[in-house]
Amino acid sequence: MLPFVVLFLAFTAGPVLGSLGMSFTDIRQRDLRTPLSVNGVGFDNYVKALSDETFRRSALNTAYFVVVGVPLTLVLALAAAVLLDRGLKRFTAVFKVGYYLPVVTSIVAIAVIWRFVLAPDAGLLNTVLGWVGIDGPNWLASKTWAMPSLIVMAAWRNFGSAMIIFLAGLQGIPQSVEEAGQIDGAGPWQRFRYLILPLLRPTILFTSVVTGIGYLQFFEEPFVMTQGGPLNSTISVSMYTYQQFGFGNYGLATSMSYLLFVVIAVVTFIQFRVLREK
Protein backbone atom coordinates (compact mmCIF):
# COMPACT_ATOMS: atom_id res chain seq x y z
CA MET A 1 0.00 0.00 0.00
CA LEU A 2 2.63 2.53 1.03
CA PRO A 3 4.79 2.23 -2.13
CA PHE A 4 1.77 3.05 -4.26
CA VAL A 5 1.04 6.15 -2.26
CA VAL A 6 4.66 7.16 -2.76
CA LEU A 7 4.36 6.54 -6.50
CA PHE A 8 1.26 8.65 -6.57
CA LEU A 9 2.86 11.48 -4.61
CA ALA A 10 6.01 11.44 -6.70
CA PHE A 11 4.32 11.58 -10.07
CA THR A 12 1.15 13.52 -9.38
CA ALA A 13 1.18 15.66 -6.28
CA GLY A 14 4.94 16.34 -6.26
CA PRO A 15 5.15 17.96 -9.69
CA VAL A 16 2.32 20.33 -8.85
CA LEU A 17 4.45 21.89 -6.11
CA GLY A 18 7.61 21.44 -8.14
CA SER A 19 6.03 23.40 -10.91
CA LEU A 20 5.13 26.23 -8.59
CA GLY A 21 8.67 26.33 -7.24
CA MET A 22 10.27 26.28 -10.68
CA SER A 23 8.14 29.14 -11.88
CA PHE A 24 10.03 31.43 -9.50
CA THR A 25 13.48 30.44 -10.75
CA ASP A 26 15.56 30.99 -13.87
CA ILE A 27 15.85 27.25 -14.54
CA ARG A 28 16.78 26.41 -18.11
CA GLN A 29 17.55 23.23 -19.98
CA ARG A 30 21.30 23.28 -19.23
CA ASP A 31 20.56 23.48 -15.49
CA LEU A 32 19.35 19.86 -15.54
CA ARG A 33 22.95 18.78 -14.96
CA THR A 34 23.90 21.55 -12.55
CA PRO A 35 20.90 22.10 -10.32
CA LEU A 36 22.89 24.39 -7.98
CA SER A 37 23.24 27.12 -10.58
CA VAL A 38 19.49 27.76 -10.49
CA ASN A 39 18.62 31.12 -8.94
CA GLY A 40 15.37 32.43 -7.55
CA VAL A 41 14.08 35.33 -9.59
CA GLY A 42 10.87 36.19 -7.77
CA PHE A 43 8.00 37.09 -10.04
CA ASP A 44 10.24 37.86 -13.05
CA ASN A 45 8.87 34.98 -15.11
CA TYR A 46 5.31 36.05 -14.50
CA VAL A 47 6.09 39.65 -15.44
CA LYS A 48 7.88 38.42 -18.54
CA ALA A 49 5.00 36.17 -19.55
CA LEU A 50 2.34 38.82 -19.04
CA SER A 51 4.25 41.45 -20.99
CA ASP A 52 4.97 39.04 -23.85
CA GLU A 53 2.97 39.98 -26.93
CA THR A 54 2.66 36.38 -28.14
CA PHE A 55 1.56 35.13 -24.75
CA ARG A 56 -1.20 37.72 -24.63
CA ARG A 57 -2.21 36.74 -28.14
CA SER A 58 -2.34 33.09 -27.08
CA ALA A 59 -4.46 34.00 -24.04
CA LEU A 60 -6.95 35.83 -26.27
CA ASN A 61 -7.07 32.88 -28.67
CA THR A 62 -7.67 30.47 -25.81
CA ALA A 63 -10.47 32.68 -24.47
CA TYR A 64 -12.04 32.78 -27.96
CA PHE A 65 -11.82 29.00 -28.23
CA VAL A 66 -13.45 28.48 -24.83
CA VAL A 67 -16.14 31.18 -25.00
CA VAL A 68 -17.41 30.01 -28.39
CA GLY A 69 -16.45 26.35 -28.19
CA VAL A 70 -17.97 25.35 -24.85
CA PRO A 71 -21.53 26.64 -25.54
CA LEU A 72 -21.45 25.21 -29.06
CA THR A 73 -20.37 21.80 -27.77
CA LEU A 74 -22.96 21.78 -25.00
CA VAL A 75 -25.83 22.83 -27.29
CA LEU A 76 -24.90 20.08 -29.75
CA ALA A 77 -24.60 17.58 -26.90
CA LEU A 78 -27.93 18.55 -25.36
CA ALA A 79 -29.69 18.44 -28.73
CA ALA A 80 -28.27 14.98 -29.40
CA ALA A 81 -29.23 13.79 -25.91
CA VAL A 82 -32.82 15.04 -26.25
CA LEU A 83 -33.01 13.45 -29.69
CA LEU A 84 -31.88 10.12 -28.26
CA ASP A 85 -34.02 10.31 -25.15
CA ARG A 86 -37.31 11.58 -26.58
CA GLY A 87 -37.18 11.45 -30.37
CA LEU A 88 -35.64 8.21 -31.50
CA LYS A 89 -37.40 5.10 -30.31
CA ARG A 90 -35.48 2.51 -32.30
CA PHE A 91 -31.79 2.01 -33.04
CA THR A 92 -30.92 4.33 -30.14
CA ALA A 93 -27.82 2.27 -29.36
CA VAL A 94 -26.54 2.72 -32.92
CA PHE A 95 -26.99 6.47 -32.77
CA LYS A 96 -25.47 6.72 -29.32
CA VAL A 97 -22.36 4.74 -30.21
CA GLY A 98 -22.07 6.59 -33.53
CA TYR A 99 -22.16 10.04 -31.96
CA TYR A 100 -19.69 8.95 -29.34
CA LEU A 101 -17.12 7.51 -31.75
CA PRO A 102 -15.00 10.65 -32.27
CA VAL A 103 -14.47 11.00 -28.52
CA VAL A 104 -12.46 7.80 -28.21
CA THR A 105 -10.26 8.35 -31.25
CA SER A 106 -6.87 10.00 -31.09
CA ILE A 107 -7.08 13.77 -31.37
CA VAL A 108 -3.91 13.70 -33.46
CA ALA A 109 -5.48 11.34 -36.00
CA ILE A 110 -8.64 13.47 -36.04
CA ALA A 111 -6.64 16.62 -36.62
CA VAL A 112 -4.85 14.95 -39.52
CA ILE A 113 -8.15 13.85 -41.07
CA TRP A 114 -9.69 17.29 -40.63
CA ARG A 115 -6.78 18.94 -42.35
CA PHE A 116 -7.92 17.06 -45.45
CA VAL A 117 -11.59 17.74 -44.83
CA LEU A 118 -10.80 21.47 -44.66
CA ALA A 119 -8.35 21.53 -47.59
CA PRO A 120 -9.09 24.43 -49.97
CA ASP A 121 -9.86 22.69 -53.28
CA ALA A 122 -9.72 18.94 -52.83
CA GLY A 123 -11.32 19.08 -49.37
CA LEU A 124 -14.55 17.36 -48.40
CA LEU A 125 -16.18 20.45 -46.87
CA ASN A 126 -15.58 22.83 -49.75
CA THR A 127 -16.78 20.19 -52.21
CA VAL A 128 -20.04 19.81 -50.30
CA LEU A 129 -20.37 23.60 -50.07
CA GLY A 130 -19.72 23.76 -53.81
CA TRP A 131 -22.84 21.66 -54.44
CA VAL A 132 -24.97 24.44 -53.03
CA GLY A 133 -23.03 27.14 -54.79
CA ILE A 134 -20.82 28.35 -51.94
CA ASP A 135 -17.17 28.94 -52.70
CA GLY A 136 -15.52 28.00 -49.40
CA PRO A 137 -12.33 29.73 -48.26
CA ASN A 138 -8.99 28.11 -47.53
CA TRP A 139 -10.13 27.51 -43.96
CA LEU A 140 -6.89 26.84 -42.15
CA ALA A 141 -4.81 29.44 -43.99
CA SER A 142 -7.21 32.27 -43.23
CA LYS A 143 -6.69 34.46 -40.19
CA THR A 144 -10.47 34.81 -39.88
CA TRP A 145 -11.51 31.20 -40.46
CA ALA A 146 -8.71 29.14 -38.91
CA MET A 147 -9.96 29.49 -35.33
CA PRO A 148 -13.65 28.87 -36.10
CA SER A 149 -12.55 25.77 -38.02
CA LEU A 150 -10.70 24.45 -34.97
CA ILE A 151 -13.70 25.23 -32.76
CA VAL A 152 -16.14 23.37 -34.99
CA MET A 153 -13.76 20.44 -35.14
CA ALA A 154 -13.42 20.37 -31.35
CA ALA A 155 -17.21 20.52 -30.94
CA TRP A 156 -17.59 17.70 -33.48
CA ARG A 157 -15.10 15.59 -31.58
CA ASN A 158 -16.23 16.26 -28.01
CA PHE A 159 -20.01 16.63 -27.97
CA GLY A 160 -20.49 12.87 -27.57
CA SER A 161 -18.94 12.90 -24.14
CA ALA A 162 -21.24 15.63 -22.78
CA MET A 163 -24.13 13.94 -24.59
CA ILE A 164 -23.73 10.78 -22.49
CA ILE A 165 -23.82 12.84 -19.29
CA PHE A 166 -26.88 14.80 -20.45
CA LEU A 167 -28.55 11.52 -21.36
CA ALA A 168 -28.02 10.23 -17.83
CA GLY A 169 -29.41 13.53 -16.52
CA LEU A 170 -32.50 13.40 -18.75
CA GLN A 171 -33.24 9.83 -17.76
CA GLY A 172 -33.15 10.91 -14.13
CA ILE A 173 -36.09 13.27 -14.68
CA PRO A 174 -39.37 11.49 -13.89
CA GLN A 175 -41.97 11.20 -16.64
CA SER A 176 -44.56 12.79 -14.32
CA VAL A 177 -42.87 16.21 -14.63
CA GLU A 178 -43.60 16.33 -18.34
CA GLU A 179 -47.10 14.92 -17.90
CA ALA A 180 -47.88 17.66 -15.40
CA GLY A 181 -46.72 20.25 -17.95
CA GLN A 182 -48.85 18.64 -20.62
CA ILE A 183 -51.95 18.85 -18.44
CA ASP A 184 -51.25 22.54 -17.85
CA GLY A 185 -51.22 23.01 -21.59
CA ALA A 186 -47.52 23.66 -22.14
CA GLY A 187 -46.19 22.92 -25.63
CA PRO A 188 -43.08 20.79 -26.21
CA TRP A 189 -40.75 23.81 -26.36
CA GLN A 190 -42.24 25.37 -23.23
CA ARG A 191 -41.97 22.07 -21.37
CA PHE A 192 -38.33 21.83 -22.36
CA ARG A 193 -37.51 25.45 -21.54
CA TYR A 194 -39.32 25.80 -18.20
CA LEU A 195 -39.43 22.26 -16.82
CA ILE A 196 -36.61 20.13 -18.22
CA LEU A 197 -33.86 22.73 -18.54
CA PRO A 198 -34.06 23.98 -14.92
CA LEU A 199 -33.97 20.39 -13.69
CA LEU A 200 -30.86 19.77 -15.77
CA ARG A 201 -29.00 22.60 -14.07
CA PRO A 202 -26.57 20.39 -12.09
CA THR A 203 -25.82 18.38 -15.23
CA ILE A 204 -25.19 21.53 -17.24
CA LEU A 205 -22.89 22.78 -14.51
CA PHE A 206 -20.96 19.55 -14.55
CA THR A 207 -20.57 19.30 -18.33
CA SER A 208 -19.61 22.95 -18.65
CA VAL A 209 -16.91 22.57 -16.00
CA VAL A 210 -15.44 19.43 -17.55
CA THR A 211 -15.62 20.78 -21.11
CA GLY A 212 -14.27 24.16 -20.01
CA ILE A 213 -11.25 22.64 -18.24
CA GLY A 214 -10.49 20.57 -21.33
CA TYR A 215 -10.87 23.44 -23.79
CA LEU A 216 -8.75 25.84 -21.75
CA GLN A 217 -5.85 23.47 -22.38
CA PHE A 218 -6.36 22.89 -26.10
CA PHE A 219 -3.09 21.95 -27.70
CA GLU A 220 -3.12 19.14 -30.26
CA GLU A 221 -5.49 20.89 -32.68
CA PRO A 222 -3.21 23.85 -33.48
CA PHE A 223 -0.11 21.67 -33.10
CA VAL A 224 -1.11 19.36 -35.93
CA MET A 225 -3.36 21.56 -38.07
CA THR A 226 -1.94 25.08 -38.08
CA GLN A 227 1.21 25.15 -35.92
CA GLY A 228 -0.39 28.16 -34.29
CA GLY A 229 -0.67 30.10 -37.54
CA PRO A 230 -1.51 31.88 -39.67
CA LEU A 231 0.23 34.81 -37.95
CA ASN A 232 -0.32 33.31 -34.47
CA SER A 233 -4.08 33.43 -34.95
CA THR A 234 -4.55 29.93 -33.50
CA ILE A 235 -1.68 29.65 -31.01
CA SER A 236 -3.00 28.56 -27.59
CA VAL A 237 -1.56 29.07 -24.12
CA SER A 238 -0.72 25.37 -23.90
CA MET A 239 0.98 25.43 -27.25
CA TYR A 240 3.01 28.53 -26.45
CA THR A 241 4.00 26.99 -23.12
CA TYR A 242 5.16 23.91 -24.98
CA GLN A 243 7.19 26.07 -27.38
CA GLN A 244 8.92 27.87 -24.51
CA PHE A 245 9.65 24.48 -22.98
CA GLY A 246 11.11 23.44 -26.33
CA PHE A 247 13.42 26.49 -26.27
CA GLY A 248 14.65 25.31 -22.86
CA ASN A 249 13.01 28.14 -20.87
CA TYR A 250 11.64 25.86 -18.16
CA GLY A 251 11.08 28.60 -15.57
CA LEU A 252 9.11 30.71 -18.01
CA ALA A 253 7.13 27.70 -19.25
CA THR A 254 6.07 26.68 -15.73
CA SER A 255 5.02 30.23 -14.87
CA MET A 256 2.82 30.26 -17.99
CA SER A 257 1.30 26.91 -17.11
CA TYR A 258 0.61 28.19 -13.60
CA LEU A 259 -1.14 31.24 -14.98
CA LEU A 260 -3.28 28.85 -17.01
CA PHE A 261 -3.92 26.76 -13.90
CA VAL A 262 -5.07 29.82 -11.95
CA VAL A 263 -7.40 30.82 -14.79
CA ILE A 264 -8.83 27.29 -14.90
CA ALA A 265 -9.47 27.39 -11.15
CA VAL A 266 -11.11 30.83 -11.36
CA VAL A 267 -13.29 29.90 -14.33
CA THR A 268 -14.39 26.71 -12.61
CA PHE A 269 -15.24 28.70 -9.48
CA ILE A 270 -17.29 31.20 -11.51
CA GLN A 271 -19.16 28.39 -13.24
CA PHE A 272 -20.08 26.96 -9.85
CA ARG A 273 -21.31 30.35 -8.66
CA VAL A 274 -23.40 31.03 -11.74
CA LEU A 275 -24.88 27.60 -12.32
CA ARG A 276 -25.32 26.14 -8.85
CA GLU A 277 -28.81 25.38 -7.69
CA LYS A 278 -30.65 28.34 -6.29
Partner 1 sequence: MMRRTWWIYLIGVLGLIAVAAPFAWMFLGSFKTQGELLRVPPTWWPEAPTTQNYDDLFNKANFPRYFLNSTIVALAVTAGNLVFCSMIGYALAKLRFKGRNALFLLVMATLMVPGMVTFVPLFVLVTNAGLANSYPGLILPFLVSPFGVFLMRQFFSGLPDDLMDAGRVDGSSELGIFARIMLPLTRPALATLGILTFLGSWNNFLWPLVIAQTEDKYTLPVALALYSTGQNAQNFGLLMAGAVVVVIPVLVMFLAFQRHVTKGIAITGIK
* Contacting partner 1 within 186-205 (CB under 8 A): none
Q: Name residue 196's beta-bridge partners.
A: none
Please give the residues from 69 up to 88 whose contact with partner 1 meets the rule CB under 8 A: 80, 83, 87-88
Backbone angles phi, psi at 40, to 5 degrees: -75, 140
Which run of H or of E encompasses 23? Answer: none
Candidate list 34, 42, 122, 189; residue touching partner 1; CB under 8 A: 122
Question: In the chain, what is the straight-line distance between the N-terminal and C-terminal CA atoms, in Å?
Answer: 42
Please give the residues from 200 up to 239 whose contact with partner 1 meets the rule CB under 8 A: 206, 210, 213, 216-217, 219-220, 223-224, 227, 238
Candidate list 98, 174, 187, 198; residue touching partner 1; CB under 8 A: 98
From 8-16, 47-55, 61-69, 179-187, give the range in contact with partner 1 by CB under 8 A: 8-16
DSSP 234-262: T--HHHHHHHHHHTT-HHHHHHHHHHHHH
Q: Is 105 a residue that touches partner 1 (CB under 8 A)? A: yes
Comparing C-alpha atoms, which of 216, 187, 173 is closest to residue 63?
A: 216
Q: Is 129 a residue that touches partner 1 (CB under 8 A)? A: no
- Residue 5 CB, nearest approach to partner 1 (Å): 7
Candidate list 25, 61, 232, 254; residue touching partner 1; CB under 8 A: 254
Spatial separation of the C-alpha atoms in residues 142 and 231, rounded to whole Å: 9
Distance, CA of 190 to chain centre: 31
C-beta of 38 vs 199, nearer to partner 1 = 38
Q: Is 170 a residue that touches partner 1 (CB under 8 A)? A: no
Distance, CA of 97 to chain centre: 21
